[in-house]
Amino acid sequence: MSEEKIKQELEDNFSYLKDAVTIKRKGRIFAQVPLDKFNAVFIYAVKQMRFLALSAITGLDRGDGFEVIYHLNREGRVLLNLSVRLNKENPEVNSVTAYCPSADIYERELMDLFGIKVNGLAAGHRYPLTDDWPKGEYPLRKDWKGTSGKTPGLKGVAGVSFPDKEAQNA
């Protein structure tokens, strides 16, 4: 199926995606999805359109809010980049680990580096920051300019334990 057909299929099934899907070049499709409709589009792309592999999840700080891009691919050939915008005050997304188990590590990255809440993510180790990293410090936010003074002598990672015995990091 060509890129044009994928765009057509998305637009036919989701009227709100009209003019929101762009083909940047061969094998690169970008789609801007409204937050409340995201789950439906994501599940459709994975289950019906067979975009079974998740290459990565990228978080972005747009200044007035956040953006999360899910890079899905089909058989390694076509990349479908589904992007969703979140507000600045209360950024939240739902976990996609039920459909793509590999999303786990990328979602933890969103939590640690952007402070985006991921609903439904199982308990586990945080990634990639240290266990004693101060609360409320999110390095990839644009207004973050370092923790100078706030983190005297981080001890690093306290240790490793099995996820079921560890409280979820938020």
Closest CB to another protein among 15 and 142? 142
User: Counting contacts by CB under 8 A, is residue 76 touching another protein?
Assistant: yes
* Minimum CB distance to another protein, residue 120 (Å): 18
Give phi and psi for 48, each to the nearest 5. Answer: -85, -40
Query: Can you say how many angstroms the Cα of residue 159 is from the centroid of all Cα atoms in its chain?
Result: 26
Number of residues that bind another protein (CB under 8 A): 43
Kind plus residue range of the DSSP H or E element containing 106: helix 103-114
Respond yes or no on whether the N-terminal peptide bond of residue 34 is cis (omega within 30° of 0): no
User: Counting contacts by CB under 8 A, is residue 34 touching another protein?
Assistant: no
Please identify which residue in 32, 55, 95, 169 interacts with another protein, judged by CB under 8 A: 55
The span from the CA of 70 to the CA of 92, in Å, is 15
* Minimum CB distance to another protein, residue 135 (Å): 17
Please identify which residue in 5, 18, 24, 37 interacts with another protein, judged by CB under 8 A: 24
* Minimum CB distance to another protein, residue 107 (Å): 12
Judge contact between 55 and 79, C-beta under 8 A. Answer: yes
